[in-house]
Amino acid sequence: MTEPAIKAVQKAVGYALVLNDQQSYEDLGLVLMRLTREQRACLAWSCLITFECSRDDIYAIADSVLYQGEEDEYNDRTKTQTG
């Protein structure tokens, strides 16, 4: 990764944290695409391990991203899993 890409990611993370709104975090996702797949996976892992919650809660967080825009499928899967 080039130095300008690293600086862009650093700046975008700072802006998202300061502005703390949905649009800023969505925009951050676009900038994070400059990272490699492995780097993005490592960042995701680092964020997930900071949550003090159950494995089910972490799966729910991941599902909310993986099935974004597919609420019906997500709700059906959640109902099936929880009984």
8-23: pLDDT as tens digits: 999 999 999 999 999 9
Structure tokens belonging to residue 71? 């609420």
In angstroms, rounded to a whole number, what is the distance separating the alpha carbons of residues 52 and 25? 21
Domain ranges for the chain: 1-50, 51-83
45-77: pLDDT as tens digits: 898 888 888 888 888 888 888 877 665 555 565
Angle CA 63–26–4, to nearest 5? 120
What pLDDT does residue 28 have? 94
What pLDDT does residue 57 have? 87
